[in-house]
Amino acid sequence: MKAQCQDMKSHCQDMKAQCQDMKSHCQDMKAQCQDMKSHCQDMMSHCQDMKAQCQDMKAQCQGMKCQCQVMMA
């Protein structure tokens, strides 16, 4: 019985160690996710800026077109 108990004990300690590893691994993953999240948000706001710039450019082009038409007439 004693030998069995020892086996169980060491097995439990192995499991405990594994759990600790998993825990720290999970925390690493969590940190990575946070980084990715903030990176994505940066990218998204950058895209929004680009979109706004494109809209401006489009409007400018429309203006130029109108001027050209007036000059041609």
Residue 44's Cβ-side half-sphere holds a number of Cα atoms within 13 Å equal to 6
DSSP state for residue 1 in the 8-state scheme: -
3-state secondary structure of 73: coil
Distance, in Å, from the CA atom of 33 to the CA atom of 62, rounded to the nearest integer, reads 43
CA max distance for the chain: 105
Q: What are the tens digits of pLDDT across the range 10-20?
A: 999 999 999 99
Q: What are the tens digits of pLDDT across the range 16-65?
A: 999 999 999 999 999 999 999 999 999 999 999 999 999 999 999 999 98
